[in-house]
Chain A
Amino acid sequence: AQSVTQPDIHITVSEGASLELRCNYSYGATPYLFWYVQSPGQGLQLLLKYFSGDTLVQGIKGFEAEFKRSQSSFNLRKPSVHWSDAAEYFCAVGASNYQLIWGAGTKLIIKP
């Protein structure tokens, strides 16, 4: 079955520290992979996407993600987080039936 797993419901990181949010997927074909961010009270915004080619993709706001086919993972990283990065982050895979399959989200908390 197609699925996306974000193992961490919450992550707390100190401002200025590095960040890695985990995402594992289960999908039979070549996946289209996405990371979205949702700030409090807002809709979701696309951070970055992977379709093919270079497995390290750059996104907005200084985020990057690495696709690892052997691990079925698409982890999101940022070298140094800012207080404004506090938000909920969603990983998704593009399914063939016009839909995205969503992870449950990881809430990022930034410690001053």
Chain B
Amino acid sequence: NAGVTQTPKFRVLKTGQSMTLLCAQDMNHEYMYWYRQDPGMGLRLIHYSVGEGTTAKGEVPDGYNVSRLKKQNFLLGLESAAPSQTSVYFCASSGGNRGQAGYTFGSGTRLTVV
């Protein structure tokens, strides 16, 4: 009954370092999403995927890359972290193309870039 699992839960990076956030879902969902959440700005879509091997840009894609090599996993990479990327990152998955079944969210990754 895991749903969506995000790792790590917390991370502190120095400016210029790289890291990968992992999202794994066990619900056989086609659609997966990466969001960032900042105070007063709600949820902003970074990248999303409509199936294995596909990725697409969302609202705020700059500075991030993603990959969906396996249906159950969606990776978010930061090649050269910047303080502006300090945020809470959420992964979500959905079984419908307009979220008909609802999104299932992970518990988030709190990233601080110093």
A residues bordering B, Cβ < 8 Å?
9, 32, 34, 36, 41-46, 49, 51, 90, 92, 94-96, 98-100, 102-105
Residue contact A100 to B90, C-beta cutoff 8 Å: no
Contact with A along B98-114 (1 / 0, CB 8 A): 11101111111000000
12 extra A-B contacts, CB within 8 A, seeds A43-B108, A99-B99:
A9-B40, A42-B108, A43-B4, A43-B107, A46-B102, A51-B100, A94-B98, A98-B50, A102-B42, A102-B43, A103-B42, A104-B40
| B58 contacts chain A at the CB level, 8 A cutoff | yes
Binding site for A on B (CB under 8 A): 4, 31, 33, 40-43, 45, 48, 50, 58, 90, 92, 97-100, 102-108
The answer to whether B42 touches A32, judged by C-beta atoms less than 8 angstroms apart, is no
B29, chain A: closest CB distance, angstroms: 12
Which residue of B is nearest A92, CB measured?
Answer: B99
Residue of A nearest to B3 (CB): A43
Inter-chain residue pair count (beta carbon < 8 A): 58
Sample of 16 A–B contacts (CB below 8 Å): A32-B98, A32-B99, A32-B100, A34-B99, A34-B102, A41-B108, A43-B106, A44-B43, A46-B103, A49-B100, A90-B43, A94-B100, A98-B31, A98-B97, A99-B48, A102-B43
Interface of B is mostly: loop
Interface-centre pick from A45, A100, A105 (highest chain B CB count, 10 A): A100
User: Which residues of B lie under 8 Å from residue A46 when comparing CB positions?
Assistant: 102-104
CA distance A71 to B47 in the complex (A): 32
- Contact for A45 among B41, B100, B105, CB less than 8 A: B105
* A46 to B3 CA separation, bound complex (whole angstroms): 13
CA A67 to CA B93, docked complex, whole Å: 25
Instruction: For the complex formed, measure the closest distance between the CB of B9 and the CB atoms of chain A, giving whole angstroms.
Output: 10
Min CB–CB distance A41 → chain B (angstroms): 8
For B98, the chain A residues whose CB sits under 8 A away are 32, 94-96, 98, 100
Closest to B98 in A: A94
Partner of A43, one of B42, B45, B90, B100: B90
